Amino acid sequence: SRYELVLTYMMVAIGLNFGFGYGGQLAIAQPVVMGVAAYTAGLLNVNRHWNSWATLVPALVVGSLVNVLVSLPGFRLRGWYLAITTFFAVAVFPDLLSATQHLTHGDDGLGPIDKFRWVGDNPSLEHWFVLALTGVCWLAVWRLVYSRWGIMARSLRDSPNAAQASGVNMPGLKV
């Protein structure tokens, strides 16, 4: 439903807020990561007839691998240069879907995808489940911001040279 979609986008915004707001890393390829994970789940569901829960782990793994691949420029770049290089992935993603039309069905979409039921067959329970998941994400990032990692992320944003001179493992922190 729209409610669940809004909450899903809120979880993405929470992650963006930590990465860009606190960490100062303007990487904008999150739609590509979400799209690749969604297509992974959809392809397994439509072509291999996996149920929705079984597609969750492969989708997370493939999405995480694509995230690492797209984020590699972040080890050398920051600011607008990082934004431009990660925007390239956003610009190429629709063309990649069209180029692999035999697999992704291009603009026609995958369909029909089985309805993903989070909790049983009760839609109101699904809303509460996604709301709780969004709350857990918000709480986890809130705790992270005020932890040692959050302080290091803010130092990465404010003064990367000082953070590195203080012994912060910059590549590890960016990962």
Contact between 164 and 170 under an 8 Å Cβ cutoff? The reply is yes
Q: For residue 75, give the nearest of 174, 151, 152, 149 by alpha carbon.
A: 174
Q: Are 45 and 168 in contact (CB under 8 A)?
A: no
Token reading at 33:
């990561």
Q: What is the pLDDT of residue 156?
A: 85
pTM above 0.75, yes or no: yes
Q: Of 117, 121, 109, whose CA–CA distance to 42 is shortest?
A: 109
Q: For residue 71, what pLDDT is reported? A: 82
Alpha carbon distance 86, 95 (integer Å) = 15
What's the pLDDT at 8?
87
Shortest CA distance to 153 belongs to which of 144, 140, 143?
144
- The single residue listed with the structure tokens 């986890």 is 140
Are 46 and 110 in contact by the 8 Å Cβ rule? The answer is yes
What does each of the 175 residues of the chain score in pLDDT, given as a tens digit?
Answer: 788 889 988 998 998 898 888 888 888 888 899 899 999 999 998 888 888 888 989 999 999 999 889 888 777 777 788 888 888 999 999 999 889 888 888 777 787 777 766 556 676 777 888 899 999 999 999 999 999 989 998 998 898 889 889 888 887 787 7
